[in-house]
Amino acid sequence: MPVINTNTAANSAVRYLNANSSQQSESLSKLASGSRINKASDDAAGLAIATRLQSDVTALDQAATNAAHSISILQTADGGASNISDILQRMKALASESASGTVTDNERVYIDAEFQQLADEIDGIASGTRFNGESLLDGTSAFAGSGVSVMVGTQATDTISLKIADLDATELGVASLATTSQTGAEAAISALDDAIDAVSSARADIGATMSRFEFRSDTIATTTENLEASESAIRDVDVAAEQAKLSAAEVKTQAAVAAAAQANQMPQQLLNLLQ
């Protein structure tokens, strides 16, 4: 019935105006942020899942960095081990020369001088092959012995063991060798063969571990890409669909404004009945 005390039509129009305006604001917020979820009430379950996915992506980003650092450490160690291997081969050549009956003891003294310098250089390379201030090949770093566990995933169990063998002259058994005599030179040849085998084995282990880190790096990159795609499907706004919602909300808001204006005129029109 027509009344002037309570403008029910205006109240209803204002209620729809508020609802449409709120929907319009939400659509604008989503389009501006690019995210479908700007507050928990937008999608509580989706927010929880997307947050966990983002956490995993963050952990994998660091895991990729860890793997890259490990590869760099192994490459540095392999470079030093390669030089040590070259030195051992030169030492074996010197020992072979000294073991020959065609040289005299005086000449063996000269040969041994270079031989001893090369043995010292093995220690120099072992201690001088450093990464982040740690010597990698002299058995003093954290990578010696049982090694360290490198995190390469999202769980505490996602690790790869990084170990580097001790390759100094003492460990290789060449520190006390001498070629000043034919007998000593012959013994040195056998010891040097063992040392060369030890360095080759250490380099093989380094290469195998490096290969594992490289494959894990590829896996991390693929997993990160897939997780980011999954998070995007949950969190990111569909721009075309949200723009359509915004357009609809704008039209409804304009209609509600017009309806509210019309409703506010109704009491004044009812006064004409009293004239």
pLDDT 10s digits, 116-141: 999 999 999 999 999 999 999 999 99
pLDDT 10s digits, 179-221: 999 999 999 999 999 999 999 999 999 999 999 999 999 999 9
236 neighbors 37 (Cβ within 8 angstroms): no
Sequence-distant (≥ 6) Cβ neighbours of residue 146 within 8 angstroms? 161, 163
Q: Which domains does the chain have, with CATH numbers?
A: 62-234 (1.20.1330.10)
Residue type present at position 180 = T
66 neighbors 152 (Cβ within 8 angstroms): yes
| E strands present in the chain | 130-131, 134-135, 148-151, 159-162
pTM of the shown model? 0.79
Is it the case that residue 263 has pLDDT exceeding 70? Answer: no
218-244: b (≥16 Cβ within 10 Å) or e? ebbeebbeebeeebeebbebeeeebee
The Cα–Cα gap between 266 and 10 comes to: 9
Determine the Cα angle at 11 with ends 9 and 15, to 5°: 115
Tokens 């979820």 correspond to what residue?
A: 37
**How high does pLDDT run on average in the chain?**
88
**Which of 229 and 274 is assigned the larger pLDDT?**
229
> pLDDT-based confidence at 262, cuts 50/70/90?
confident
Tokens 């795609």 correspond to what residue?
A: 229
The Cα–Cα gap between 85 and 183 comes to: 24
Is it the case that residue 270 has pLDDT exceeding 70? Answer: no
Q: What is residue 254's predicted lDDT score, i.e. its pLDDT?
A: 77
117 neighbors 110 (Cβ within 8 angstroms): no
**Which of 190 and 244 is assigned the larger pLDDT?**
190
| Span between the terminal Cα atoms of the chain, in Å | 19
Of 13-17, 41-45, 66-70, 259-263, which has the strongest mean pLDDT? 66-70
Tokens 């073991």 correspond to what residue?
A: 99
Nearest to 125 by CA among 83, 175, 174, 172: 83
pLDDT 10s digits, 72-131: 999 999 999 999 999 999 999 999 999 998 999 999 999 999 999 999 999 999 999 999
Q: What is residue 73's predicted lDDT score, i.e. its pLDDT?
A: 96
Q: What is residue 41's predicted lDDT score, i.e. its pLDDT?
A: 75
Q: What is residue 199's predicted lDDT score, i.e. its pLDDT?
A: 97
Q: What is residue 30's predicted lDDT score, i.e. its pLDDT?
A: 76
Q: What is residue 6's predicted lDDT score, i.e. its pLDDT?
A: 59
Tokens 């002259």 correspond to what residue?
A: 169
Nearest to 163 by CA among 189, 179, 145: 145
How is residue 265 written in tokens?
């005129």
